[in-house]
Structure 1
Amino acid sequence: MVLERMESETPKSNLFHPNSRRLHVMLLLMFGFFCASYMRSNIGMTMTCIVNSTAVAIETAKSHEDPSKSFNSSLIPEQCQHEGIEEEGGVIVNDYGGTLVWSQSVQNRLFAATFWGSLFTIIPAGYFADRTSAKNLFLFSIINYSICSILFPLLAIHTSPWIAFASRVIMGFGEGLIVPAANKLITRWVPNQEKSTAASIFTMGNQFAGGIGIPIVAGFCASRFRWPGVYYFCGGVGIIWCIIWSLVVTNAPEKAKAMSTKERTFLRENIDNVQKSSLRKEHKIPWGKIFTSLPVISCFVSIFGVNMVVVLLQAYQPTFMKEVLYLKLVDNGLYSAAPYIVQIVSKLTWSISIDHLKATGKISNTWACKISQIFATVTIGTFLILITHFADCTRPEITLLMFCAIGIGFSTAISGFYTSLLSLAPAYVGIISSLCQFVGVVGMLVPPFLVSQFRIYGTLEEWQKIFYIVSIYTILSGIFFLIFGKGEVLPWGRGEQSEKLNPKKEEIEENVQKLEITLEQ
C-alpha cells in the first residue's frame, strides 16, 4: 500500500530514549508541576501541626454546645491511644503541637484561598497561552508560587490570618496559569499517539508532591525547623527549577537547538501543526461550538468531580487520618503519602498500556478515553463510600488500602478526560483548557464548603456525609463522559485558517487510497 510505504518512511523516535528532547521537556514540566502542587497542597499536612488543636477544640465546643455530643477518651480503643491524644471540653483531640489558634472557618478559608486566586487568571491564561509564550507563562507561575511560599510563614506568624489568606490568593494567580500553559506545550511537543503518556508524566508531579512531599512535611514538623521550614524548602526548590527551565526549554520543537534530526523529523511529520505564528492571531475563537459541544462539556463535568477528589485527598486526607484514625504525626505523613506512591506506578503503567493499544490499532482514541474515565470514577466513588463504613483506628491499614485503591482509580483519569481535553481542538487547546480549569477550580471550592457545613468535631459520621456527596457526583460524571466523551479532533478543532490551507487528514488518506486503486489497475 502506498499509504503504508509513506508511513514507513517516517522515522520512529522513541519517547523514552535518553536523548529524547520531548521527554526532557515533559520531565521538566513534571518537576515544575511538582513544585506548584507541593507549594499549593502542603498546607493540608502543615495545617495539622500549625494549629493548636486543643485550643481550637475548646472554642469549637463552646460555640457548638450540643448535649447529644459527648465524647470520652475511654471510648477510643487502647491500641489507638497515644501521648498526643487528650480530651478537652468533651471533645477528643489529637494534638500535633501547633501554636496558632485558627478556627475551623479560618482553616477552610486558607485551604480554598489559592482556588479563589486562580479564578482571576484562568481564562486570560488560556487566551495568552494560545497567542504568546506558554514557556514564560509557566515560568511566571512558579516564580509567583516560590515568592508566596517563602513569605507565608512570616505573614502567618507575625500578621493576621487575613493577610496570610491574601498571600495564598496571590499564590493562586499562578495556579491559573499552570494547566493552560502546560497543555499548550504538550500539544506542541507531543503527537496524539503519545499524549496519554505525556499527560501522565506531566501530572505525576502531583503524585510526587504527595508521595515524597508529605513525608518531608511530617519530618519538618517533627524537627526543630517545625512547619515554617517546609515553606522555605519549597520556595528554594521552585527557584532552582525556574533557573533550569529558563535555560533549557523552548516553546516548540522547531526552536530547540539540542535535538536529533530523527526526532525533529518525527515530530514535524506527526504533530498537527496548526499553531503557526502567522495564523494563531487570526483565529476567531468558536465560542458557540465550544459551549455546545458535548465532548467538551463532558470534560467540564469530569474535571469538576476529579478536582473535588484532588482537594479532598490533598487538603483533608491528613486531617481525616488525624481525627478518625488517631495517627501520630510521622505515621500520618507516611499513610497520607502511600496513595500517591501507588498512583505514580499505576498512572504510568496504565497510560503506556493505553497508548500501546492505540498505536497498534486495537482500540480507538475515543474508547481509550472512555474506558479510562469510567474505571477512574467508579473506582474512586466506590472506595470513598467504603472508607466511611470500614475506617477503624484499630486496623488503619484497611483504610490505607482503600485510599490506595482510590489512587489507582484516580491515576487512570489522566488517560480519560484529560487526554480527551488535549485531543479535541488543537487550535484552541489553551482557551478550552482555561475554561475546563475554571470549572475545575469551582469544583475545588466544594470540599472546603462541605467541610465547613458538616465537620464540627471530626467524627467519622461527619466525614461520611462529605465523602458520600463527592463519590455520588464522581460516579455520575463518569457515566456522562462514557456517553458523550470523545478522544478525536472535532471538525472545528484545527481552526478555520488551517482548514482552508490544509486538507483534513482523512481527505488526504482517502485521496491516497484512490491513487492506490488507480495504480493497481
Structure 2
Amino acid sequence: MDSSGEKTPLVPAHHGFFHYKSFRFWMAILLMFALFSAINMRVNLSMSMVCMVNLTAHEESERAANRTLPAINPKCVMSENTLKTKGYNGEIRWSKQQQAQLLTATFYGTLATAFWSGTIADRIGPKSVLTVTIIIYILITFASPTVAQLSYPAVFVLRVMIGAGEGFVAPALGSMAGRWSTAHEKSSMAAVYTSGNQLANSLTHLINTELCASRFRWPAVFYLSGIIGIVWLITWQCFASNYPEDNFCVGAGERNYLEEHSPSLKTQVRGSVPWRAIFTSRAVFAILTCQFAFSFTLAIFMSFLPQYLRDVLVLPLSMNGIYTAITFVAQLISKNVLAVVADRLKRSGKMSHTACAKMFQTICCAGDALALSLLAIFGSCERPWVAGLLLAAYGAFFSAGICGFFTANLSIAPRFSGTMTSLTGPDKVWTCVFSAGAVCNVLAGVVFWFFGSAEVQPWGRNDDASTTSSSHSLSAASLSERTFARRIAAKREENCVNSERNTQENSKRN
C-alpha cells in the first residue's frame, strides 16, 4: 500500500534459471535441441561411413603403394575377414583420401559464410536464421543416402552446403542465448544449450552403430536424423521468439526480472558493428586464441574419432559407438556441474567475472594438454581401456572452457553476441588454419623478396677470403683446415719433385 492509501499491485516473483517454470531455461533446452539436431545431421556421415564404405576395395593398391613401410604392430592390423566380423562391411567404394575429403568438406562451406552470418542473425533475428538453416539441413539429409550411391562429387557438394549452413547455426544460437540470459546466468545458459553438442555426438554414435548393424543398415542413420530435425522445427516454430517480451510463455515476474537485469536489445542492435574496435580488442584476441585451440581438438574428435577407434584401437563396431560416447558424456556432465559452480561464485561476489573465466580456462587448457599428450603416448590396440580413461579425462577438462572463454564471448558485447559468435564460433577452426597458412606464406614471400639470393655467397667460395671471414663457423673452420692441409701436401710433393730433379741433374754433371 502506498502513501495515498491505494494498494500497490504485486509483481510476481521470478523463478531461478533451472526452475521448471522458468521459460528462459526452456529456451535454453530449445537451443540445445537445435544444436543437437544440426550436429546430428552434420556428423551422421562420420559414424555411418565406417559401416557404409568397403574398406577392402582399395586395399591392394594401398598395400602396393606402402609395401616398403614396416607394420607398426601386427596385432593392430585387421584382415578383410576381421573387418567383416567386426561389422565394417560396407558396399560404397570410397578411398581413404575421398573419405577424408568428405569429412572436411563442411569446413570449406563454412568459410563462405563465416564472417557475415552473425551480423545477419543480429539484424533479422536468430529464429528465422535457424529455421531456414535447419530446413536446408533436413532436405540434404534425406537426399544423402540416394546421392551417396550415385555420385561421389554430388555428395561432396552436399557436404559443402551443410558447412555453409553451419556457418549460421553457431551465431544464431549465440545471438538467441545473449537475449535470453542475464550476466549472472550466462555460464548456465551456455552450458545447457551447448550440451546439444555432447548429446548429438554421444547418442548419435551409439544409435548409429545399432542402425548400421540392423537390417535397415546405414541409410536409416540419415532418415532418422531428418525426422528429428522435423520434430524440432515444429516445436521451434510454436514456442520460440527472438525476444522475451514477445513470447506468450514468459510470465510477468520473469519478464520484469529480465528487463531489470538484461535490458531489451530490440533498440540496441540497429547500430553499425564496430569492426575496428573488435579487431583491436585484447579481450577478443584472447577469446580467438582459446577458440582456435578449443575448435581444433573439437573438430578432430567430431570428425575423425570413429576412424581412430577403428584403425588404431581396432575396436568392433559395437564398441566404437561406446568409446566415442565416452568423451562427450564426460563433457556433458562436467560442463553443467562447472557452470553451476561458476555462476554461484560470480553471484556470491567471491570472484569477478574475469577472474572466474580465467580460472576455468586455465583448467581447460592445462587438463586437455595433459590428457592428449598421454593419449598420444599410451593409446594402443593392446590397451584400449587406457585410451577410454584418457578420452573421459579429456572431455571433463574440455568442458571447463565453457565457463571460461565461451562465457566471456557472450559477456563482452551482448549487443553483438551473434557477430561475436560468428567470429569465434566452433566452426572457425579451419578459417584460423587457412588464415595462419596464408600469413605464413605472405611472411615467407616478403622475407625472401628482401633477403633472398641465388648467387654464390662469399662464405660459400673455396678461397682464402672465405675461410678468413668464416673463421668463427665450425663448418668454415673445417674447410680452412682441409684447404691448408691440401696446400701443405702439395708443397711437400713439389719439394720432393724438385729435390729429385736436382739429384738427377747433379748425377748427369758428374
TM exceeding 0.5: yes
Q: Is the 8 A contact 2:117 2:167 kept in 1?
A: yes
Match 2:34 to one of 8, 32, 35: 32
CA drift of 1:58 comes to 2.5
Match 1:204 to one of 171, 184, 195: 195
Correspondence 1:340-359 to 2 at 5 A: 340-359=328-347
Which residue does 1:503 correspond to in 2? none
Which residue does 2:170 correspond to in 1? 179
Match 2:146 to one of 128, 139, 154: 154
Correspondence 1:218-257 to 2 at 5 A: 218-257=209-248
Q: Is 1:270 aligned to residue 261 of structure 2?
A: yes
Match 2:117 to one of 112, 125, 133: 125
Q: For 1:413 and 1:106, locate their aligned partners in 2 and report how far apart those are by CA, in whole Å.
A: 33
CA drift of 1:337 comes to 0.8
What CA deviation, in whole Å up to 9, does each residue of 1:345-377 have, x standing for no partner?
111000111111110011111111111112111
Which residue does 2:66 correspond to in 1? 65
Q: For 2:31 and 2:426, locate their aligned partners in 1 and report how far apart those are by CA, in whole Å.
A: 21
What CA deviation, in whole Å up to 9, does each residue of 1:7-45 have, x standing for no partner?
xx9955311111111111110100110011111112221
Match 1:437 to one of 396, 409, 425: 425
- For residues 406 and 390 of structure 1, do their structure 2 counterparts lie closer, same or farther at Cα, with a shift above 3 Å needed? same
Q: Is the 8 A contact 1:126 1:181 kept in 2?
A: yes
Query: 1:257 is matched by which residue type in structure 2?
Result: F
Correspondence 1:106-125 to 2 at 5 A: 106-125=98-117
Which residue does 1:76 correspond to in 2? 75
What CA deviation, in whole Å up to 9, does each residue of 1:168-217 have, x standing for no partner?
11112220111111111111110010000100111100100122111111
Q: For 1:95 and 1:348, locate their aligned partners in 2 and report how far apart those are by CA, in whole Å.
A: 35
Q: Is the 8 A contact 2:110 2:427 kept in 1?
A: no
Correspondence 1:506-517 to 2 at 5 A: none
Q: For 1:101 and 1:315, locate their aligned partners in 2 and report how far apart those are by CA, in whole Å.
A: 19
Structure 2 stretches of 5 or more lacking a match?
Answer: 1-10, 438-510
Which 4+ stretches in 1 moved above 6 angstroms?
80-83
Q: For 1:354 and 1:162, locate their aligned partners in 2 and report how far apart those are by CA, in whole Å.
A: 47
Query: 1:119 is matched by which residue type in structure 2?
Result: L
Which residue does 2:395 correspond to in 1? 407
Which residue does 2:126 correspond to in 1? 134
- For residues 381 and 443 of structure 1, do their structure 2 counterparts lie closer, same or farther at Cα, with a shift above 3 Å needed? farther
Q: Is the 8 A contact 1:51 1:98 kept in 2?
A: yes
Q: For 2:72 and 2:351, locate their aligned partners in 1 and report how far apart those are by CA, in whole Å.
A: 55
Q: Is the 8 A contact 1:303 1:439 kept in 2?
A: no
Which residue does 2:206 correspond to in 1? 215
Q: Is 1:371 aligned to residue 359 of structure 2?
A: yes
- For residues 138 and 248 of structure 1, do their structure 2 counterparts lie closer, same or farther at Cα, with a shift above 3 Å needed? same
Q: Is the 8 A contact 1:119 1:438 kept in 2?
A: no
| Mean Cα deviation higher: 93-102 or 376-385 | 93-102
Structure 1 stretches of 5 or more lacking a match?
Answer: 1-8, 88-92, 450-521
What fraction of aligned residue pairs are identical, expressed as a percent? 33
Q: Is 1:287 aligned to residue 282 of structure 2?
A: no
Q: How many residues align?
A: 425
SS in 2 for 1:422: helix
SS in 1 for 2:115: helix
Q: For 1:254 and 1:316, locate their aligned partners in 2 and report how far apart those are by CA, in whole Å.
A: 43
Correspondence 1:158-173 to 2 at 5 A: 158=150, 160-173=151-164
Which residue does 1:396 correspond to in 2? 384
Q: For 2:286 and 2:141, locate their aligned partners in 1 and report how far apart those are by CA, in whole Å.
A: 34
Q: Is the 8 A contact 2:17 2:25 kept in 1?
A: yes
Q: Please tell me the root mean square deviation across aligned C-alpha atoms, in Å.
A: 2.4
Match 2:90 to one of 93, 98, 111: 98
Structure index of larger Rg: 2
What CA deviation, in whole Å up to 9, does each residue of 1:456-506 have, x standing for no partner?
xxxxxxxxxxxxxxxxxxxxxxxxxxxxxxxxxxxxxxxxxxxxxxxxxxx
Query: 2:286 is matched by which residue type in structure 1?
Result: S
Q: Is the 8 A contact 2:86 2:317 kept in 1?
A: no
Which residue does 1:47 correspond to in 2? 49
Query: 1:146 is matched by which residue type in structure 2?
Result: I
- For residues 438 and 409 of structure 1, do their structure 2 counterparts lie closer, same or farther at Cα, with a shift above 3 Å needed? closer
SS in 2 for 1:31: helix
Query: 2:282 is matched by which residue type in structure 1?
Result: L
Q: For 1:242 and 1:354, locate their aligned partners in 2 and report how far apart those are by CA, in whole Å.
A: 32
Q: For 1:68 and 1:111, locate their aligned partners in 2 and report how far apart those are by CA, in whole Å.
A: 26
Match 2:82 to one of 75, 82, 85: 85
Which residue does 1:315 correspond to in 2? 303
SS in 1 for 2:104: helix
Taking structure 1 as the reference length, what is the TM-score of the superposition? 0.77
SS in 1 for 2:56: helix
SS in 2 for 1:52: coil
Which residue does 2:489 correspond to in 1? none
